[in-house]
Structures are given as C-alpha cells and as structure tokens.
Amino acid sequence: MIRFYIHPTTNPLKVALFLEEAGLPYEVVPVDTRKGEQHAAAFRAINPNGKLPAIVDTDGAGGVAVRVFDSSASCFISPTRSGASPARPPIAGNCFPGRCSSAGIGPYSGQAVHFQRAAPEKLPYAVNRYRREAERHYAVLDAQLAGRSFIVCKDLTIVDMSAWGWIDRAPVVLTGSDDPLAAFPNLKRWFQAIDARPAVARARIVGSNHAFKQEVDEVAKRALFPSNYPATTA
C-alpha cells in the first residue's frame, strides 16, 4: 500500500495526478502545513526536509517500506508497479523538457507566487524577475509543444503531470492577466487537453474531505516560512 502524505497545494497535486493516472491504490494521510504538522517528529522521520508531498510504499523491495519525498521523486515510486516499461519509463528525467518542468517552472513559479502574495513587502525587482523567468520557461515548453500532444513522448508521461501542476497555477503566477497563457498557444492547448482528463478531476478532490486550516495567521507564517524567523533553542 502507498501512504500519500498531502496538503492540497501544487506539488502534492502533481503526485495525486500520477497516482490516479497509474491506477495505484493509495491511502491519503493529511498533513496540515499551516498548523506546522510537517515539522512534527513523526513526519520528519519520513521527510527530514519537512515538505509535502511524501510517500511511504509499504510494499518496497524485499518487503521493506520505502519512503520517498519531493514531488518529482515521488512519481518514480515504482515504474513497474504502474505498468511502465523499463525501456520507456514514465518520465525522461534527464532530457531538457524534463529538467525545464522539474527544475525551472516549479521553482520560478513558486517564487513568483511568494513575492506577489506572501512576502510582507512587494519588492518590484523580485516580482519582475520571477514572473519573467516563469514566462521564459512557459515559452520553452510552448516551443517544445509545437506539433506535439505531449511534452516528451507520444503518450502522457510524468513530465506532463509535473508541468500541469504548475501551469494550472498560471493565473496566480501571472496574476492580473485575464488569459495568462494567451501568449503561449501550444502550451494552452496542451494544458486544456491534460486538464480535461478524468484523472485530473479525481486528483483535484484528493484530501478535500479533510478540514485543513485556512487562515494565514502568524502561526501559519511561522510554519510555512520558518527560515524567515530566528532559530529557537530549547
């Protein structure tokens, strides 16, 4: 069984899509990051980095449970379990589009959202830099998708799933735009096709039956952005 530790944010959503597309059975374990549950010792034993998502596969090799964290790594949980061929695994992680999706769009989009919505001061330089970098990565994928249905192969891979999670946030990344993907027609076409898949609708409701904390108060800020505060000593 796969235990899927989740808070309903972008990176866990990508893994939810993978699990739904792969048809793997899993158990949802809510971790409320605004309450700071990701810093509890029990969760830190699974992910010492204190981030979501994380997975524990209780049916690992030799019957030993395997813990995996980071959204891209979690989608590698076991290609053989999801029926992927060893000759064509579900992601081409070392190819340029895969790197753009994992190491480009996510980090720059996340920073764009942070400096526009969470930072106590609106710093024009930071907002401009991260929005423009997000747009530049959109352009890279837009060019890659010219004449293609998927980013890497002829079929859906976890490169597509990873990119979908952040392109879904384009209205927030490029806040203020009525149509943030208008300048990227291939990317927009691709996103709409991925977004229409039945597995996406299922992924969007994963964890929705749990009452996660909604307030972004001082407790939530300290839990979400602990490096912004002085380290405490016992």
Q: What is the helix (H) or strand (E) element at residue 200, kind and residue range?
A: helix 198-204
Which pLDDT score is estimated for 50? Answer: 93
Query: How high is the pLDDT of residue 234?
Result: 43
CATH number 3.40.50.720 given to 2-85+202-228: no
43: tokens are 């969760």
Distance CA 167, CA 189 (A): 12
Round the average pLDDT of the chain to a whole number and report it: 86
Other CB atoms within 10 Å distance of the CB of residue 168:
19
How many CB atoms neighbour CB 154 within 10 A? 8
List where CATH 3.40.30.10 sits in the chain.
2-85+202-228
**This model's pTM is above 0.95:** no
Return the CATH number of 96-196, one of 1.10.287.130, 1.10.260.40, 1.20.1050.10, 3.10.350.10: 1.20.1050.10
CA-CA distances (angstroms) from residue 51 to 155, 162, 176, 183? 30, 17, 29, 33
- pLDDT score of 232 more than 70: no
> Maximum CA pair distance of the chain?
59
CATH 1.20.1050.10 range(s) for the chain read 96-196
pLDDT digits (tens, 9 = 90+) for 43-83: 999 999 999 999 998 887 777 888 888 766 555 554 445 55
Cis bond upstream, residue 53 (ω within 30):
yes
Could you read off the pLDDT of 188-227 as tens digits, one per residue? Answer: 999 999 999 999 999 999 999 999 999 999 999 999 999 9
> Which of 70, 93, 97 lies closest to 187 in space, CA to CA?
97
Q: Are 125 and 39 in contact, with CB atoms under 8 Å apart?
A: no
Phi-psi region of 204 (alpha: psi -120 to 50; beta: other; left: phi over 0): alpha
Kindly report, residue by residue over 82-92, the tens digit of the pLDDT.
554 333 334 44
Share of the chain above pLDDT 70, in %: 85
Phi/psi-derived region of residue 207, left when phi > 0, alpha when psi is between -120 and 50, beta in every other case: left
Q: How many other CB atoms sit within 10 Å of the CB of residue 199?
A: 18
The yes-or-no verdict on residue 27 having pLDDT over 90 is yes
